[in-house]
Structure 1
Amino acid sequence: MDASHSEAARMLRPDEVTVHLIASGLIMLTQQTQDQPALTLPYPEPLQRGLNRLVLACLRRNRPPPRSVMDLLNWCREPLITWGLDLPDGSVADYERLLDDQIPTATCEAWARSGADIEANLSEETFMHEVITICIESDDPEAYTTFRRMLIERPALTALEFQQALGELDIDALQERLKEAYEPAPRSAAHNGQWATCAICGNLMLRRRRGELICEDEQCRAQGRRTPARLLPLRDGVVWLRRDLRRYIAMPGRAELQLAADLEKLGLQIALWPAFDRYDLRVTFPDKTVWAIDVKDWSNPFLLARSVNNKPFPNDPPWDRAFFVFPDARRAQRPDYVRAFCNALRVHSDRVEACFARDLLRRAKEQIERGSHA
């Protein structure tokens, strides 16, 4: 464990470290078993360490502990709040669990990041920083926008489509980064010689243990649509956006693009990822008022606030008001989402607010109305 990780761990309660290790181990296990029909030894080290800590925590509380890794996986399919751990108030909702069948949930992803393990948790930030550096050196902000949209809108591609995507990038170094962004699609997700893609997000659909098709994105699963958009034969050599980019670039990116489109319908000027991604959207009103928007799509507002506390809202390019904006689906999932986020936020400013997308659109309409009467 490096110094930065040790320092982060000291800031967490012992049971938070336990959940972080288990969540990290679950994600590693998912990658490890992607093309294997069964679990194989050795299990990921964080998963085993997390299990050991959980056993000790249960024994100290005179509670029956999980007896094995397989038993732990069953625990992970139950609400985290039932584990009887000492976790901060508001950090766990009663519906949150680490696994949905065999798929790590967004809650699992958030807890995996909570330990601030730079190598494991911030790999997508390192990757995107390299992309930004390439575009800055080429003085080509449009190339960055094109590249990022590609990741968001094309999570699964046939070999031919991937070659065409490479051809859309004029900078050789970006073509190399695009090759790093994708990996061969897992054969475990194929059935009868073909993969299926989600009709909502375009991602590959996975199979539950009972064989039914589901999307990896739990928000897509919540909509209940299981009819695939496309069927891609194995012979087409399908590639899939790698996991960290799917979760932390493509998933929130869909909400970013949708919000940008909705604001443009109001006649507003929108800049996507201004100044090479200082924040997500820069909105300019007819009266020249400027809003800065950072879209956040985490299932757990407490863990999101903890992440945001380490990164104050950028003030360049300049803006008059700034907003953290959450997809409306998070409101249906947890009505107190905004309050829980703000309660855990240490970085406060009367110029920075938090709200759901629908509320932001309402406020944008009010701002347009005020500007027209000024």
Structure 2
Amino acid sequence: MRVADQRLVPDWLSNPDVMLLRDIATAVLQLAAVDGLDAFTLPYPAGAQRALDALVLRCLCNGARPPSGVPEMMRWARHRPLGSWPLDGLPLGLFEAGDRLVDEHSGQPAQLCHELAVRSHGDSTGRQYDRLVIDEAFRACRDAAAPESYTAFRRLLVEQPVLTAYDWTDISTDLFLDPVRHVIEEIYAPVPPHFRRDGAYLCCRRCLILLHPVDDTGWWCERDQCRSLGAAPHGRELVAADVGEPRQLRKPLRQFVTGPGRAEVALESALRALGLTVEMWPAFDAYDLRITFPDGHVWAVDVKDWAHPAFLGRAAAPVRPEPPYDEACWVVPRFRVRARRDYLDVYAEERPAQAGGLRLLTDDRLIRASRLRLAGERGPSASIAPQSPPGTPDAPPEGPHDDGANDA
């Protein structure tokens, strides 16, 4: 029997069943990094065996049949929604009905799996790599007194996650990238052969990353947002015989930099179309977008693309104060709120008091607020500052579950 009807208890991160799932999520990522999730070889990583042992014990205590081994535990991760696992102590409402650790169709770790592992152990290996790369690029550009080089580097990771030999030649002559040349040579790796079908690779037209071949003819995009929009549209086809073996960003950078970066540049484009001045990653990435209105009023925006709103809420912190701004908020892609209607409420409930009431808006709602302010509106709908006392859930004028889906 599950715990009493409570959504997210204050100490849910310390809940034993949540901690167990976090260990299993970490094991999934370890196995994916070593063998891929469709090929298990002995000995298993020690973390995977420990996670299995703990899951077996929990199942036996709950009178449920446990998985017979690591392969079956991985089948659970792929085919069983988390809410159906025999873990009676999971807080109600923490996971959605379809939440899985592994994507059922592709067999690749889901973004939720990455977030569980990252949040549980401070930083996963992948997340550490992501930060090391960004920090090294920051250091190199700062030492060269070249903030424009840092911006060019970030844009490269967002707009060119896959490079052919011809692309590689082009960027090798880009003077803006000179301070980070050594970083670029490290982070673009040869593409594994399992991405190739019939001698060719295929890029997603929306995300620009390489698609994963599935079944005999299908293709799968690793980005949640892209899959939410339907089948991945086919973009560049890279025939190895014509363009050579391509290189792609390493997975942690695709996951934590390219993915959110696509949302950032989409916002940049939409806001510039309104006539606003937008600076990307100002002051060496103090925040993501600095938006200046004609009257000099400035908004600071950080874009976050997280699958689980509770983890995002726990991570909430004030936007850095420099370069200065008048108002600040975090922004999440609208599809996250469409997929989980309580996303904004859960974020606000989990947001710590020290975040100062930091608001989370959908991307289209930020654009709507920009339009209203440009039109002369000065009320709450044209503001991105906190609309309620710090530490309490936001109550936007359009209603607590409005994600701006009807906005143009």
Q: Tell me whether the two structures share a fold, i.e. TM-score over 0.5.
A: yes
Structure 1 stretches of 4+ moved >6 Å: none
Quote how far apart the aligned CAs of 1:304 are. 1.5
Aligned to 1:217: 223
Q: What is the SS of the residue equivalent to 2:120?
A: coil
CA contact under 8 A between 1:184 and 1:237: conserved in structure 2?
Answer: yes
Amino acid paired to 1:20: R
Matched, 1:28 2:33: no
- Identify if the C-alpha distance between structure 1 residues 229 and 10 changes in structure 2 by more than 3 Å, giving closer, same or farther: closer
* Partner Cα separation in structure 1 for residue 239 and residue 44 of structure 2: 32
Question: Residues 197-226 of structure 1: CA distance to partner in whole angstroms, max 9, x if unpaired?
Answer: 112111111123566211111322232234
Aligned to 1:313: 319
CA contact under 8 A between 2:315 and 2:351: conserved in structure 1?
Answer: no
CA RMSD of aligned residues (A): 2.4
Aligned to 2:310: 302
CA contact under 8 A between 1:287 and 1:371: conserved in structure 2?
Answer: no
Aligned to 2:395: none
Matched, 1:357 2:363: yes
| Aligned match for 1:17, one of 16, 19, 34 | 19
Amino acid paired to 1:23: A
| Aligned match for 1:113, one of 109, 118, 127 | 118
For structure 2, which runs of at least 5 residues remain unmatched after alignment? 1-10, 380-408
Q: What is the SS of the residue equivalent to 1:213?
A: strand
* Partner Cα separation in structure 2 for residue 49 and residue 112 of structure 1: 15
Q: What is the SS of the residue equivalent to 2:359?
A: strand
- Identify if the C-alpha distance between structure 1 residues 169 and 118 changes in structure 2 by more than 3 Å, giving closer, same or farther: farther
Quote how far apart the aligned CAs of 1:138 are. 1.0
Q: What is the SS of the residue equivalent to 1:114?
A: helix
Amino acid paired to 1:42: P
CA contact under 8 A between 2:300 and 2:319: conserved in structure 1?
Answer: no
Aligned to 1:252: 260
| Aligned match for 1:345, one of 327, 334, 351 | 351
Aligned to 2:57: 56
| Aligned match for 1:103, one of 102, 105, 108 | 108
CA contact under 8 A between 1:156 and 1:203: conserved in structure 2?
Answer: yes
Higher relative contact order (CA closer than 8 Å, sequence separation 6+): 1
CA contact under 8 A between 1:290 and 1:321: conserved in structure 2?
Answer: yes
Amino acid paired to 1:33: D
Matched, 1:142 2:148: yes
Amino acid paired to 1:181: I
Aligned to 2:184: 178
The answer to which of 39-48 and 246-255 deviates more is 39-48
Matched, 1:205 2:211: yes
Amino acid paired to 2:118: R
Q: What is the SS of the residue equivalent to 2:305?
A: coil
Amino acid paired to 2:227: R
Amino acid paired to 1:100: D
* Partner Cα separation in structure 2 for residue 37 and residue 55 of structure 1: 21
- Identify if the C-alpha distance between structure 1 residues 22 and 349 changes in structure 2 by more than 3 Å, giving closer, same or farther: closer
| Aligned match for 1:325, one of 302, 325, 331 | 331
Q: What is the SS of the residue equivalent to 1:195?
A: strand
Question: Residues 163-200 of structure 1: CA distance to partner in whole angstroms, max 9, x if unpaired?
Answer: 32232244544111011111110101211112111121
CA contact under 8 A between 1:169 and 1:175: conserved in structure 2?
Answer: no
Aligned to 2:4: none
The answer to which of 52-61 and 38-47 deviates more is 38-47
* Partner Cα separation in structure 2 for residue 372 and residue 287 of structure 1: 13
CA contact under 8 A between 2:25 and 2:113: conserved in structure 1?
Answer: yes
TM-score if structure 2 supplies the norm length?
A: 0.83
CA contact under 8 A between 1:321 and 1:351: conserved in structure 2?
Answer: no
Amino acid paired to 1:304: L
* Partner Cα separation in structure 1 for residue 166 and residue 62 of structure 2: 57
TM-score if structure 1 supplies the norm length?
A: 0.90
- The total of aligned residue pairs comes to 362
* Partner Cα separation in structure 1 for residue 336 and residue 266 of structure 2: 15
- Identify if the C-alpha distance between structure 1 residues 244 and 113 changes in structure 2 by more than 3 Å, giving closer, same or farther: same
Amino acid paired to 2:120: G
CA contact under 8 A between 2:280 and 2:288: conserved in structure 1?
Answer: yes
Matched, 1:191 2:191: no
* Partner Cα separation in structure 2 for residue 232 and residue 211 of structure 1: 16
Amino acid paired to 1:148: R
Question: Residues 220-255 of structure 1: CA distance to partner in whole angstroms, max 9, x if unpaired?
Answer: 223223452122233411111111100110000000
* Partner Cα separation in structure 2 for residue 171 and residue 264 of structure 1: 25
- Identify if the C-alpha distance between structure 1 residues 363 and 18 changes in structure 2 by more than 3 Å, giving closer, same or farther: same
Question: Residues 289-335 of structure 1: CA distance to partner in whole angstroms, max 9, x if unpaired?
Answer: 11110100011011112233xx4421222221111101011122111
Superposed, 1:222-301 pairs within 5 Å as 222-235=228-241, 236-301=244-309
